Amino acid sequence: MKLSYIISGLLVTSSLFAGTHTGHWGYSGEEGPEHWGNIDPKYAECKLGGSQSPIDINAQNTIKTIGLDAIKFDYKTAATSIVNNGHTVQVNIADGSTITIDDKTFELKQFHFHAPSENHIDGKPFPLEAHFVHVAKDGSLAVVAVLFKDGVENPIISKVWKKMPHKAGKQNEFKLSAAMINKILPLDKTYYRFDGSLTTPPCSEGVRWFVMKNNPEVSAGEVNEFAHIMHHPNNRPIQPTYARKVLQ
């Protein structure tokens, strides 16, 4: 099914899961982000696209909007498994959790992590970023991004880290309640909004991005533990904004 391929295949699954090294990408060397558009014709949008993610959100590209709709979060199902695919650590969610925005409902499929952050605020990166990936019935995508700031240990992140596989290609059963998943998000859910893309090949555009303005804390130890498991930074560099505007 095409939809499941987008979620499990293109966003996060590496060649370890696909069973082939065709189109294999990474974060350094000849497989690094600057080469993604040349690795496979299917990844051409990585170099040709005009609305790529991540971006730097700053005073030059933001517009204050009156009455920006609140995102209706309805996360009510638990996590089922956790995967290390060599590119990130991904937590898969049972069907039934959603967000509603633009009079459209998107189902939460998974959340995963990048360190350091992919999106920046006023030129500043954050130590960790979580992406909550949602899909509508028509296949359109919405990503809610949470940028974590330096601070005290995050108890929910700590629970996730305790179950994350240490080797690429491994998956563990993982039960994390809906209540705990909700606690990863900040209490104040005001956001920046822009049109963007997947931050991994094939870098498909048309993705609704919602970057939370408020930043939960995470400890340096937790960030270092994730970085150690990944063996490398797993953030795509900032992409040009061009004529895009960020709504807030």
CATH number at residue 241: 3.10.200.10
State the total domains in the chain: 1
Distance CA(16)–CA(23), nearest Å, equals 12
Residue 3 clears pLDDT 80, i.e. is over it: no
* The model's pTM: 0.92
H helix runs in 81-203, sequence order: 155-163, 178-184
Distance CA(21)–CA(195), nearest Å, equals 31
Residue 96 clears pLDDT 70, i.e. is over it: yes
Share of the chain above pLDDT 90, in %: 90
Beta bridge partners of 101: 104
Confidence category of residue 173, pLDDT binned at 50, 70, 90: very high
Specify the pLDDT at position 23.
81
Q: How far is CA 54 from the centre of its chain?
A: 10
Residues marked active site are found at: 87
Q: How many residues does the chain have?
A: 248
Q: Which domain holds residue 10?
A: 2-247
Distance CA(143)–CA(196), nearest Å, equals 10
Residue 10 clears pLDDT 50, i.e. is over it: no
Residue 19 clears pLDDT 70, i.e. is over it: no
Confidence category of residue 63, pLDDT binned at 50, 70, 90: very high
Specify the pLDDT at position 46.
98
Q: 218: part of which helix (H) or strand (E)?
A: strand 217-218
Residue 2 clears pLDDT 50, i.e. is over it: no
**Quick one: average pLDDT of 10-29?**
54
DSSP structure class, residue 4: H
Quick one: CA dihedral 81, 24, 230, 184, positive or negative?
Answer: negative
Specify the pLDDT at position 67.
84
Distance CA(40)–CA(192), nearest Å, equals 32
Residue written as token pair 């108890």: 155
**Quick one: average pLDDT of 82-87?**
97
What pLDDT digit, counting tens, does each position of 178-218 carry? Answer: 999 999 999 999 999 999 999 999 999 999 999 999 999 99
Specify the pLDDT at position 18.
27
Distance CA(204)–CA(208), nearest Å, equals 11
Distance CA(131)–CA(142), nearest Å, equals 10
**Quick one: average pLDDT of 42-60?**
97
Specify the pLDDT at position 229.
97
Specify the pLDDT at position 33.
98
The overall average pLDDT reported for the chain is 92
